Structure 1
Amino acid sequence: MKTFKFIIVFFCCFYSANLFAQTPQAIEADLLRIFKRVNYYGSHKKEWKAIDSLQKMNKIFGFKLKYYTSKYPETISYPFTEIKKERVVIATSADGLFRTYSWDTRLGSVGYDFDNVLQFTANGKVLSSLKMDSVGKKHNPVFWYSKIYTLQSGSKTYYLAAYNSVRSSVDATQGVQFFAIENGKLNGAVLLVKTPTGLHSKIYFDYDFLSVVNMNVIPTIYYDTKTQTIHSPLVNAKRQVTRDYIVYKFTGKYFERVKN
Structure 2
Amino acid sequence: MKKLFTIILIGFSTMAYGQNLSMIEKDLLKPLKKIHYWSGMGYQDKLSVADSLTKENSLLKKKLLKYTKNRPSTLGYDFKALQKEGMTIATSADKKFRIYSWDTYTGGTMHFFENVYQYQSGKVTLSESIGSSEDAKGFFSEIFTLQTDSGPIYLGYLHSILSTKLAYQNICLFKIENAQLKDAKLIKTKNGLNNSLGFEFDFFSVVNRKERPVKLIYFDEAKKEIKIPLVKANGEVTPKFITYRYTGKYFERDKK
* 2:198 match: 204
Q: Quick check: 1:151 aligned with 2:146?
A: yes
Per-residue deviation, 1:50: 2.0
1:164 to 159, 162, 166: 159
Q: Is the 8 A contact 2:110 2:136 kept in 1?
A: no
Q: TM-score w.r.t. structure 2 length?
A: 0.87
* CA 1:201–1:29: 2 relative to 1, 3 Å: same
Task: Establish whether residue 244 from structure 1 lines up as the match of residue 240 from structure 2.
Answer: yes
Query: Distance between the aligned counterparts of 2:240 and 2:76, measured in 1?
Result: 36
Q: Residue 13 of structure 2 corresponds to which residue in structure 1?
A: none
Percent sequence identity is 39
225, 233, 250: which one aligns with 2:229? 233
CA deviation map 1:139-186 (0-9, x unaligned):
x35211110011111132100111010110232110100000011100
Letter in 1 for 2:117: L
- Equivalences, count: 235
Aligned partners of 1:170, 1:254: CA distance in 2, in Å?
33
Q: Secondary structure at the match of 2:162?
A: strand
Listed one character per residue, the Cα deviations across residues 160-214 of structure 1 (whole Å, up to 9, x for unaligned) are 1110101102321101000000111000x21111123211110111112222223
Post-superposition offset of 1:233: 0.9
| 1:31 matched to 2:25 | no
Given that 1:92 and 1:147 are in contact with CA atoms closer than 8 Å, whether structure 2 keeps it comes out as yes
The 2-side partners of 1:141 and 1:33 are apart by 23
Task: Give the direction of change, closer, same or farther, for the CA distance of 1:103–1:219 in structure 2 (3 Å limit).
Answer: closer
Check whether the contact 1:45–1:51 (CA below 8 A) recurs between aligned residues. Answer: no
On the 8 A contact 2:219/2:225 being kept in 1, the answer is yes
SS in 1 for 2:207: coil
1:201-255, Cα deviation, whole Å (9 max, x unpaired): 1011111222222344645112111111001011012111111111111000100
RMSD: 1.7
Q: Which moved more, 1:92-101 or 1:44-53?
A: 44-53
What SS does the corresponding residue of 1:131 show, helix, strand or coil?
coil
Pair 1:50–1:161, CA change in 2 (3 A): same
3-state DSSP of counterpart to 2:34: helix
| Structure 1 ranges of 4+ moved more than 4 A | 216-219
Query: What per-residue deviation string (whole Å, max 9, x for no partner) do you get for residues 110-157 of structure 1?
Result: 122100000001131111002363x4x3xx352111100111111321
Find the residue that maps to 2:54 and give its secondary structure.
Answer: helix
Instruction: For 2:58, give the aligned amino acid.
Output: K
Maintained 8 Å contact 1:145/1:164? yes
Are the equivalent residues in 2 in contact too, given 1:142–1:167 (CA < 8 A)? Answer: no
Q: Give SS of 2:129's match.
A: strand
Partner of residue 14, structure 2: none
Alignment of 1:67-216 (within 5 A): 67-131=66-130, 133=132, 135=133, 137=134, 140-187=135-182, 189-216=183-210
CA distance in 2 between counterparts of 1:85 and 1:201 reads: 31
In the alignment, structure 1 segments of 5+ residues that lack a partner are: 1-20
2:75 aligned partner, one-letter code: I
State TM-score, norm by structure 1: 0.86
The 2-side partners of 1:213 and 1:247 are apart by: 23
